[in-house]
Structure 1
């Protein structure tokens, strides 16, 4: 089977260099790569050119439309039997395609998703961010893992694959951002295709490199959940309210301490237990005190940013019924 790897790119030339380097090391060779520059001002033309003799690689430049519609641009031009989507800030293990191909031969999936993890080269902050995005003590526990608490499994577009038949029947993305991957996978489910997780199809996802960027990204994710609700109201589960409830609870705890309410003591105990759970779990995962401490910060940023984004658009678009 031949795979076409589709990578939208926006002002991240250094990231695509690192990603393409990992693709040159793939043990399974039946693939081509499409890098699609989505209206970048800081383009990667020279970097992409340097890989032309190392892998089967095509490079496109188009006006900015966002990642969803840029992936559609790739689908329309892909020559593979199966399409794979990566974010430009991923590093791909050398056995990734071999793992996927073996898994699909053994247990066919029309669409799959894979997990993400922290690479040994990541900074402590990146490792802490990776922890908070995959932890069972944050929204990492509902992000589409095998035992998904949020309902059916939804592959995420940093590490997603789909057959040509899915594209031919369902089409591509109908929104370009704000939860476009979840919306798409729900339509694929509805069309009757088989979707699942390939647990060993891991990518190393860099995500954001500082706390401010991470906050902005997760605030966007919280808003995206409401955007998905507008398309599929039944997909909004009680568990998706957790970051908002946590954020409100944290605010209540601060207020209770400020006003010296008797309940403040109980709130402080619960908060301390939660912090210790994150710390010791992160410590066992990363074997680093520094990363464990940073993981407390990134976990709080994740929940608070997501919670504020969720509440913001829940108020605007659900309560006030603005578009």
Structure 2
């Protein structure tokens, strides 16, 4: 099986350097790399050229169209049997492609989604963001661990499809608004087998500030509503939990003035949730700094997602 690794890039040459360097260590060698520069002002062409002697790599530049359409273009140029789509801010462990090839063969997969993790060399904030995105206390763990891997909805930072899937489904329909989840749902509805491959994880660097992390969480909430325009059943109870969390936080302030007994009960509930986050982060990372930052990121992630969901649902209701 030959892999075509599709990487859209926008003004991030340093990240591409790290990702391509990790490809040098892959134990599975039958692959090509396709870089699609999506209208960047700071291009990575010089970085890409340094790796041309190490493996098959091609570089394309196009006017900015969004990461979804940049991936489509990359897949249209690919010669492999299976297309692996990665974000530019990930790094691969050495066994990534070997594990993936084995799982695709053993499980007869047409498509897959893989989880993300934090590396040991990540900053405390990066580790905290990773915890907020993957913890049971925030996302319910659905981003990277499921009892039923067939229920997974692949994310564009680490996903892949066979050539047949791309040719039949025509790839992404939206440039950057939950386009990966929409395609995942459409792939399954087309009768193809898409599952979580938990062992095919990537290290996801997420070079965000706390403000940008909250903005990203807000956009994730908006994106879920956008996906529901294509797939009416896309919003499920678990996706509404961040909205309930946000409303719960707002209600605490009102309860303080209007209903003191309820206020103390709410504080107890919030305290127990906070304790779960703090203890979980401390056990995972054994760092007080990461523990504290994880709590902040968890609050921002849930409230940001909930606010984005509420905003976009309101817009959808107004527009009909």
- Normalised to the residue count of structure 1, the TM-score between the two structures is 0.96
- Give yes or no for the alignment of 1:320 onto 2:318: yes
- Given that residues 8 and 37 in structure 1 are in contact (C-alpha distance below 8 angstroms), is that contact kept between their aligned partners in structure 2? yes
Report the Cα offset of residue 107 of structure 1.
Answer: 1.6
Return the alpha-carbon distance in structure 2 between the equivalents of residues 315 and 280 of structure 1.
36
Return the alpha-carbon distance in structure 2 between the equivalents of residues 145 and 186 of structure 1.
18
Return the alpha-carbon distance in structure 2 between the equivalents of residues 231 and 142 of structure 1.
21
5+ residue gaps, structure 2, are none
Report the Cα offset of residue 212 of structure 1.
Answer: 1.0
- Given that residues 34 and 57 in structure 1 are in contact (C-alpha distance below 8 angstroms), is that contact kept between their aligned partners in structure 2? yes
- Given that residues 208 and 214 in structure 1 are in contact (C-alpha distance below 8 angstroms), is that contact kept between their aligned partners in structure 2? no
Return the alpha-carbon distance in structure 1 between the equivalents of residues 142 and 117 of structure 2.
16
Other-structure match for 1:141: 141
- Given that residues 141 and 148 in structure 1 are in contact (C-alpha distance below 8 angstroms), is that contact kept between their aligned partners in structure 2? no
Number of residue pairs matched by the alignment: 320
- Give yes or no for the alignment of 1:179 onto 2:181: no
Return the alpha-carbon distance in structure 2 between the equivalents of residues 233 and 203 of structure 1.
31
SS at match of 2:84: strand
Greater Cα offset, 251-260 or 285-294? 251-260
Greater Cα offset, 284-293 or 70-79? 284-293
- Given that residues 6 and 34 in structure 1 are in contact (C-alpha distance below 8 angstroms), is that contact kept between their aligned partners in structure 2? yes
Report the Cα offset of residue 262 of structure 1.
Answer: 2.5
Report the Cα offset of residue 159 of structure 1.
Answer: 0.6
Other-structure match for 1:296: 295
- Given that residues 128 and 298 in structure 1 are in contact (C-alpha distance below 8 angstroms), is that contact kept between their aligned partners in structure 2? yes
Other-structure match for 2:131: 131
SS at match of 2:195: strand
Displacement over 3 Å in runs of 4+: 142-145
Other-structure match for 1:30: 30
Indicate how the Cα distance of structure 1 residues 142 and 166 shifts in structure 2: closer, same or farther if over 3 A, else same.
same
SS at match of 1:8: strand
Greater Cα offset, 123-132 or 201-210? 201-210
- Given that residues 7 and 87 in structure 1 are in contact (C-alpha distance below 8 angstroms), is that contact kept between their aligned partners in structure 2? yes
Q: CA RMSD in A?
A: 1.5
Return the alpha-carbon distance in structure 1 between the equivalents of residues 119 and 13 of structure 2.
20
SS at match of 1:6: strand
5+ residue gaps, structure 1, are none
Indicate how the Cα distance of structure 1 residues 68 and 154 shifts in structure 2: closer, same or farther if over 3 A, else same.
same
Other-structure match for 2:239: 240
- Given that residues 128 and 294 in structure 1 are in contact (C-alpha distance below 8 angstroms), is that contact kept between their aligned partners in structure 2? yes
- Given that residues 144 and 154 in structure 1 are in contact (C-alpha distance below 8 angstroms), is that contact kept between their aligned partners in structure 2? no
Report the Cα offset of residue 310 of structure 1.
Answer: 0.4
Report the Cα offset of residue 144 of structure 1.
Answer: 6.2
- Normalised to the residue count of structure 2, the TM-score between the two structures is 0.97
Report the Cα offset of residue 260 of structure 1.
Answer: 6.1
- Given that residues 37 and 62 in structure 1 are in contact (C-alpha distance below 8 angstroms), is that contact kept between their aligned partners in structure 2? yes
SS at match of 1:160: strand
